[in-house]
Each structure stands twice: as C-alpha cells, then as structure tokens.
Amino acid sequence: MSQQDNLRKQVERQARRMKRAEKDRPTLMAQTVYIGTLGLLFVLPTVGGAYLGHWLDSQLDGYSTRWTISLILVGVFVGAINVYLFLRE
C-alpha cells in the first residue's frame, strides 16, 4: 500500500468523523439539561448537609453552628466528587 493510499484513507476517515460529529452535535436544550444536572449533583448534597446540620444544632442547648458548618463542608466535598464522577463518565 502506498503512502498516498494511507493518506487518502486517513483523510476520508477524518472527514467521516467530522461529519458524524457535526450531525451529533448537542442541541442547546441538551446542553442546558447537562449543566442543570451538574448543578443538582453539586447543590443537593450541600443543601442536604445544611438542613441536617441545622436540625442537629437545633437539638442541642444554646447557640451552635458546629454541625451546620461541618455538614455543609461535607456536602460540598460529596458534591464535588459527584460532579467529578459524572464528568468522567
């Protein structure tokens, strides 16, 4: 097989890939759903941690924010891991 044949096959393969990529390009709605999913994956654990921490702090006597702050930080960490794993997929 000559170099010209190899070059022609590579160019044809790349042209097919480019056409397929153009045809399969995500729509604005698909991109919006994707970004919304990322937001929920990050925000829900954070908000859940805040509510659980506030409830735990309300069960203690006096004014305390120890559980609230701790669980917000745990929620941020869990949300970041969720986003990372989702983007890796």
Q: What is the Cβ-side half-sphere exposure of residue 53, based on CA atoms within 13 angstroms?
A: 19
State the average pLDDT over residues 76-89: 94
Token pair belonging to 82 = 């969720």
Listed as own residue / partner, the contacts of 35-38 with beta carbons closer than 8 Å and 24 or more positions apart are 37/86, 38/83, 38/86, 38/87
Of residues 72, 69, 70, the one with CA closest to residue 48: 72
On whether the CB atoms of residues 45 and 78 are closer than 8 A, the answer is yes
Q: What is the pLDDT of residues 2-13, one digit of tens each?
A: 778 888 888 899
Residue 51 near residue 67, CB atoms below 8 Å: no
Residue 19: count of CB within 10 angstroms of its CB = 10
Q: What is the pTM of this model?
A: 0.68
- The per-residue pLDDT for range 37-81, each reduced to its tens digit, is 999 999 999 999 999 999 999 998 888 889 999 999 999 999 999
